[in-house]
Structure formats: C-alpha cells, structure tokens
C-alpha cells in the first residue's frame, strides 16, 4: 500500500554502504569480462574510452539511482510510484525486477563454473593442461555436462539466498564487509605475482602485459569496441535495473551520495584494472594470446596455471577471487527481487528470499544446460544462455538507464536530483540549467549505446 509506513533497515555506516555497492559493482564483469573485451578490442585505447564512458554514463545514472532510492526509501517499483503517483513510471522499476530474475539466473551459472574451478585447481585438476586446447576440452566437458553445472549453480544460489535471507545489516552488510577486503588482498597478490613473473623465453616479458593494458594505440579502437565499452560501463556498475537504487534506499540523509559514488567507481575501476594486470602480465610472460575472447578465463588461464611457478596456489586464488566477486554481485540482484516482494506484496523477507531464490535457480536451469543437452534449442538464433545475456545486457539495462535519466529530466526534474545530492554535506556548485545540460548529454550517450547496440553484432 502506498504511503504506508514500512520500517526500513539502514546501513550501519558509509563504509558499509560503499562496500556493499562496491561488492555489487565488482563482479564477473570486472574480472572475467573486462579483461577479455580489452583483449579483443585492442588494449589501452579501449580502456581509455571505457574510463570516459564510466564518467559520461556511469556516474550520472549511478547518482540518479542512489538519489531516487534514498529520497523515497523504497525499492524500484515503490520508488517510482512514490515520485510519480498515478503514472506508468513504475514500469521502469518492474523491468528492473524482471531483469534481476533474468540476470541472476544465468550469472549464477557462470559463478557456478568458477566455484567448480576452485576445486579443480585445489585438487590438481589443471596438471594435465599442456595447452589451452586441452584446457578448453576439459572445460567443455564440464560446461556441457547434463548435471555438474546444475550442482554448482545450485550451490551458488544457495549461498546467495543464505545471505539475502539474513537481511540488509546482518546479511548483505556483514558479508560484504568480510568478503570485499579479502577480494582486495587476493587481486593484489595475483597482480604482484603477475608483474614479477619472468618471461619463459627471452623475448617474453610481463611488462608487455602492462604495455598492452596501458599504452594506447587509438588506431585499434573500433566503433564496435566503443559501443561495447559504453555498454560495459552500465553492467560493471550494476546500473539500469534498480540494484543501486535499492541499495541507496537503505541510506540515511547523512551520507554524501557524490562521495560514495566516486568511491564505488574508483574501486570498481581499480579492480578491473588490477584483474587486467594480473591476467595480461601472466598471459604475456608465458607467451599466450590476449585476444581469445570469453574463454580467456577458463581455457587460457588454467593452461597457464598448469605451467607457471606457483600456479597451483594462484589458480585457487584466482577462481576464489571470481567466485567471491560474483557472490557479492549476485546478492544485489536477489535483493532487488526480494525487496520488491517484501515492500510491494507484503511478504516476509525470509520467505521472499527463499522462494524467489529457488525460482531463479529454476529459471537458470535451461540456460545452464544450453551449452550441452539443450544446445539445440534456439530462439531468435541464440542459445538460451545467449538470449538471456542479450535481453538483459543489451536491452533491459541500457533501456532502464535511459528511462531513469529521462524520468529525472522530464518528471522528477534536475532540481530535485540536485536537492537530494546536496544532502549529507555536499557543496555541489552546479546550477539547475547545467545539471539539465549534463543529464541531456548523458541521456544522448545512453541512447546511442542502446540504439547502436541494436544494430551492432556485439
Ligand atoms: N556489476 C556486476 C559485474 O560487474 C554485475 C551486476 C551485479 C549487475 N548486479 C547487477 C549488473 C545489476 C547489472 C545490474 O559483474
């Protein structure tokens, strides 16, 4: 019921919020996807454009989500209902909840693979990988298996449900404050190990990995690469479906939203770059190819861990890093769904987390099997996994983000956004007109990403 008082949990501190929002942002997108798209689209020039996209698209949408969440103290559907009663803007929130279902269902499948690979690394399962080809075959045997990927998908969803079940403070906040520092330690260890690797042959060097990542060659930057970078800016910051809006709704007015947003962006970018350093120094030192695409993590790296000094431990740490990063992101996806049912449908949290967590697990079963037994089922020419990825990543997130910016321009008004951003001691010196202009520019960027994405091949 609208306007009814709902007792709401709040984060224990600003750090807790930043850890949780950072935990959501830092995920498979940073450690699996960012390095491989950087590899495919040519390295440093791509990285620079990506950083620019983060500022042009990521920052404004993130601020809008935080501000709407905190202002209304509601999760997406309720938030739009509160700000624009009697309109259809709540559909933006509804699309977010739906996106939560879809994204988490297949995100958990990949996260399950990473869980499986921790154990593979732990029990010497990489030992026989003399080449990426051998590693690839082993990976395929696993991913196409009719049962094993389902088991790991189930284990992962179980962990996600467990944490969301415990609530905002005792669950999400507590686990993020434990797991995020651990994640930072692991990624730093891996990056240092990568940088200090000696090339296995005279002409090979870890430093070439750093060059690849940081020395730009703009002739390598393609239009398609630019679009991929812009789309990724959304995904990596968990924007466009109300996850950050929901986390923002657990904030009090004391917090400075702009500072928090900058922290989250810096952390997210730092993790992506550190993961890139860890991966590319290693890849280059051992003479492998950086541009091998999505399989970089599951084919190339295990083959590298099999031969590199200290590779056993590094393999375990690497897949632990991926699993933890995925877990802290997945929590935010289930939280959007859970918060909706708690707030708008009057469910108790425990029931909502368990019931919808299980539903999401079930929804993930077909895409999980689409690498193997269900591989022949194609919709719109895509496997179920690709379809889920495509629908959410290419349509729902950019569209959700675009609608949020438009909502702010047209209905909520930039002045209300500024008012919210100025709480918590931020001396934001920007006029309403300038804010409007910035919002229009960022709406254009988002619109371009979306429209061009419809026609591009990626
Ligand atoms: N940001 C996460 C990553 O980089 C993915 C993610 C988590 C996400 N929650 C989200 C993406 C919400 C979009 C919306 O892996």
| Residue 284 pLDDT greater than 60, yes or no | yes
Q: How far is the CA of 234 from the centre of ligand 1 (A)?
A: 8
Q: How far is the CA of 261 from the centre of ligand 1 (A)?
A: 15
Task: Compute the distance between CA of residue 383 and CA of residue 370 in angstroms, rounded to an integer.
Answer: 6
In a domain? residue 223: yes
Best probe residue, ligand 1, of 20, 22, 25 (max atoms within 8 Å of C-beta) = 25
Q: How far is the CA of 277 from the centre of ligand 1 (A)?
A: 21
Share of the chain above pLDDT 70, in %: 98
Q: What is the pLDDT of residue 231?
A: 86
CB 230 within 8 A of CB 452: no
Q: How far is the CA of 259 from the centre of ligand 1 (A)?
A: 21
Q: What is the pLDDT of residue 239?
A: 96
Mean pLDDT (whole number) for 283-291: 87
In a domain? residue 2: no
φ, ψ of residue 399 to 5 degrees: the values are -65, -45
Query: Tokens in use for 438?
Result: 């910035």
In a domain? residue 7: no
Start-to-end CA span in the chain (Å): 42
Q: What is the pLDDT of residue 291?
A: 79
CB neighbours (10 Å) of residue 127?
Answer: 12
Q: What is the pLDDT of residue 1?
A: 42
Mean pLDDT (whole number) for 150-175: 97
Residue 441 belongs to a domain with what CATH number?
A: 1.20.1740
Helix axes 90-122, 76-83, angle to 10 degrees: 160
In a domain? residue 304: yes
Mean pLDDT (whole number) for 271-287: 92
Q: What is the pLDDT of residue 5?
A: 52
Q: What is the pLDDT of residue 354?
A: 98
- Which ligand 1 atom sits closest to the C-alpha of 27? 15
CB 112 within 8 A of CB 96: no
In a domain? residue 5: no
Q: What is the pLDDT of residue 71?
A: 97
Q: What is the pLDDT of residue 457?
A: 54
| Residue 383 pLDDT greater than 80, yes or no | yes
Task: Compute the distance between CA of residue 176 and CA of residue 27 in angstroms, rounded to an integer.
Answer: 12
Task: Compute the distance between CA of residue 124 and CA of residue 89 in angstroms, rounded to an integer.
Answer: 53
CB 328 within 8 A of CB 27: yes
| Residue 282 pLDDT greater than 80, yes or no | yes
pLDDT tens digit sequence for 340-369: 999 999 999 999 999 999 999 999 999 999
Mean pLDDT (whole number) for 104-132: 93
Nearest-CA residue for ligand 1 atom 6 is 238
- Which ligand 1 atom sits closest to the C-alpha of 234? 13
Best probe residue, ligand 1, of 97, 333, 335, 340 (max atoms within 8 Å of C-beta) = 333
In a domain? residue 194: yes
Nearest-CA residue for ligand 1 atom 14 is 238
- Give me the domain span that covers residue 204: 14-455
In a domain? residue 4: no
Count structural domains, the chain.
Answer: 1
Residues with CB under 6 A from ligand 1: 24-25, 27-30, 103, 235-236, 238, 241, 243, 329, 332-333, 397
**Predicted confidence band at 8 (pLDDT cuts at 50, 70, 90)?**
confident
Most confident of the ranges 75-89, 199-213, 220-234, 308-322: 75-89
**How many helices (H) and strands (E) in the chain?**
21, 0
pLDDT tens digit sequence for 59-83: 999 999 999 999 999 999 999 999 9
Mean pLDDT (whole number) for 91-111: 96
In a domain? residue 257: yes
Q: How far is the CA of 50 from the centre of ligand 1 (A)?
A: 16
Which SS3 state, helix, strand or coil, does residue 379 take?
strand
């Amino acid at each position: 019921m609208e306007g009814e008082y709902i007792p709401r949990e709040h984060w224990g501190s600003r750090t807790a919020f930043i850890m949780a929002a950072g935990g959501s942002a830092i995920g498979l997108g940073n450690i699996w996807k960012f390095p491989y798209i950087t590899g495919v689209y040519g390295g440093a020039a791509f990285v620079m454009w990506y950083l620019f996209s983060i500022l042009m698209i990521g920052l404004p949408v993130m601020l809008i989500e935080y501000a709407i969440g905190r202002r209304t103290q509601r999760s997406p559907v309720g938030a739009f209902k509160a700000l624009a009663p009697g309109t259809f803007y709540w559909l933006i929130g509804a699309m977010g909840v739906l996106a939560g279902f879809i994204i988490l269902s297949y995100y958990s499948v990949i996260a399950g693979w990473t869980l499986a690979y921790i154990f593979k690394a732990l029990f010497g399962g990489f030992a026989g990988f003399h080449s990426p080809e051998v590693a690839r075959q082993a990976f395929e045997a696993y991913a196409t298996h009719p049962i094993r990927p389902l088991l790991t998908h189930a284990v992962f969803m179980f962990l996600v449900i467990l944490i969301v079940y415990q609530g905002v403070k005792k669950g999400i906040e507590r686990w993020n404050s434990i797991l995020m520092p651990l994640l930072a330690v692991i990624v730093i260890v891996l990056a240092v190990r990568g940088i200090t690797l000696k090339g296995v042959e005279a002409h090979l060097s870890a430093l070439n990995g750093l060059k690849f990542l940081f020395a730009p060659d703009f002739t390598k930057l393609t239009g398609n690469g630019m679009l991929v970078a812009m789309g990724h800016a959304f995904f990596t910051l968990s924007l466009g479906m109300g996850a950050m809006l929901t986390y923002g709704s657990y904030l009090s007015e004391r917090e400075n939203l702009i500072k928090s947003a900058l922290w989250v962006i810096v952390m997210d970018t730092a993790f992506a770059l550190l993961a890139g350093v860890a991966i590319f120094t290693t890849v280059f030192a051992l003479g492998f190819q950086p541009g091998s695409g999505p399989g970089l993590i599951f084919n190339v790296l295990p083959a590298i861990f099999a031969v590199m000094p200290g590779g056993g431990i590094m393999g375990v740490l690497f897949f632990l890093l991926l699993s933890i990063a995925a877990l802290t992101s997945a929590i935010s996806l289930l939280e959007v769904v859970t918060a909706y049912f708690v707030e708008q449908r009057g469910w108790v949290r425990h029931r909502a987390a368990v019931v919808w967590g299980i539903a999401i697990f079930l929804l993930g079963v077909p895409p999980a099997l689409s690498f193997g037994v269900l591989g022949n089922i194609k919709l719109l020419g895509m496997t179920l996994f690709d379809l889920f990825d495509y629908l959410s990543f290419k349509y729902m997130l950019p569209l959700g983000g675009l609608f949020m910016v438009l909502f702010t321009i047209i209905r909520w008004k930039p002045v209300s956004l500024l008012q919210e951003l100025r709480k918590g001691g931020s001396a934001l010196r920007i006029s309403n007109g300038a804010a409007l202009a910035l919002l229009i520019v960022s709406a254009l960027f988002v619109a371009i990403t979306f429209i061009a994405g419809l026609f591009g091949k990626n």
